[in-house]
Amino acid sequence: MAGGPGPAMSRRARSGLVATGLVAAAGLLAHVEPPVHAVDDGVASTPAWLDCAACHAEIDGQWRDSLHAAAWTDPIVQAEFARSPGPSCRGCHAPASVAAPDDADAAARGIDCVACHVRDGWILAAWPSPAGVLAHPVRAAPAQATVDACRGCHQFDFADDGIHDPREPLQDTLAEWARSTAAEEDRTCQSCHMAERRDADGVRRTSHALRGLDDPELLAEAVRVDGEAIADATGVTVQLELHGHRIGHAFPTGDLFREAVLTVRTDDGAKDALVLKRWLASTIDPDGDDHHIRQVDDTRVPPPGDGPLRDELRLDDPTATRVQWELRLHRLAPGAARSRGLDAHASGIAVARGEFPVQRRR
């Protein structure tokens, strides 16, 4: 695992911004005259005539309900930005507002059509549009359908701020993907998050709902939980093995303040929990001259193909006949959510649940 010990490390190790700009699409093929379009510092503004929803109503509707649309207005993002207002955060969460940080309307657009589909005055699409249906000039940019379209905001190192180690990743999702079976099988980010289909006319379309942690079905397929519960005279030991299942990166991935918690309990109320997260601490630099915050442990579920996460939990209930387990994803740790007035987010998101029968071995 990047920057930390192997995936089987125990949860017991305890210790104690953002890439600017947008990824530039490559491989431009079709040559047409570019539309008149203002570009300021690499961030494209929306001309008055560019009303994407007028012709792309279905896609616009999908996007409006997505996490990309709420990339800036999301209450967790706003709470974290209020605590640590790094100017580069806007590059990924509100790119239209980079050149106008006081423009609330531009910021509220989050990651919109322009953020992904306009570069240097060109409207980009992953595939050439069928002949005769163009309402505006388009350049085909095959990189739009690859992981490179996501790299700029999902793979970058800490800023060189004198506090964090700038050699370590803040977001590491693309590197996780590169180690996964998804990469080996040429399954991209879009394969899961923007599923492709063909309409009645045979035209290729991708969903812009951008399925993610707001999609219960997608979450339910992310992790497979295997285990057994073994009783002795004083309690029950729960041996766990967590595998990345239908996922292309570690679980959870993305923002450092995300974590998942696997809780096990008996009917009598005995309980223990496994926290899945990246653990950071201030440690001395290799040359011994200074300290920086860096990753000291990683107890997340590794990407599929990178081995399972193994651990064990202990329950003080020797008479238990079953152990129930539940996996929940927290976009923000429960205590942190409550301290920021975000009580609605403190309980997390249900991912999966099940139970193990208790075995008694002689």
Q: Where in the chain is the domain with CATH 2.60.40?
A: 216-360
Reported as a single tens digit per residue, the pLDDT across 302-356 is 999 999 999 999 999 999 999 999 999 999 999 999 999 999 999 999 999 999 9
Question: What is the chain's mean pLDDT, rounded?
Answer: 85
The pLDDT assigned to 56 comes to 87
Rounded mean pLDDT of 107-134? 83
% pLDDT > 90, the chain? 69
Q: Which amino acid is at 334?
A: P
The pLDDT assigned to 119 comes to 86
Asked if 38 and 45 touch (Cβ cutoff 8 Å), the reply is yes
Structure tokens that stand for 58 in this block = 């279905």
Q: List C-alpha distances in Å: 149 to 188, 249, 287, 336, 355.
A: 10, 16, 37, 32, 40
Asked if 11 and 274 touch (Cβ cutoff 8 Å), the reply is yes
pLDDT at residue 278 tops 70: yes
E strand residue ranges, the chain: 39-40, 43-44, 118-119, 122-125, 139-140, 155-157, 169-172, 196-198, 204-206, 223-231, 236-244, 259-265, 271-276, 278-284, 291-298, 309-315, 322-330, 349-360
125-134, 206-215, 259-268: segment of lowest average pLDDT: 125-134
Q: CB neighbours (10 Å) of residue 207?
A: 17
CATH pick for 216-360 out of 2.60.40, 1.10.10, 3.40.50, 2.50.20:
2.60.40
Reported as a single tens digit per residue, the pLDDT across 78-105 is 999 999 887 779 999 999 999 888 999 9
Rounded mean pLDDT of 220-227? 97
* Cα–Cα distance, 98 to 88 (Å, whole number): 8
Strands 223-231 and 349-360: parallel
pLDDT at residue 8 tops 70: no
Asked if 103 and 97 touch (Cβ cutoff 8 Å), the reply is yes
The pLDDT assigned to 275 comes to 98
pLDDT at residue 19 tops 70: no
pLDDT at residue 34 tops 90: no
Reported as a single tens digit per residue, the pLDDT across 293-304 is 999 999 999 999
164-178, 198-212, 308-322, 340-354: segment of lowest average pLDDT: 198-212
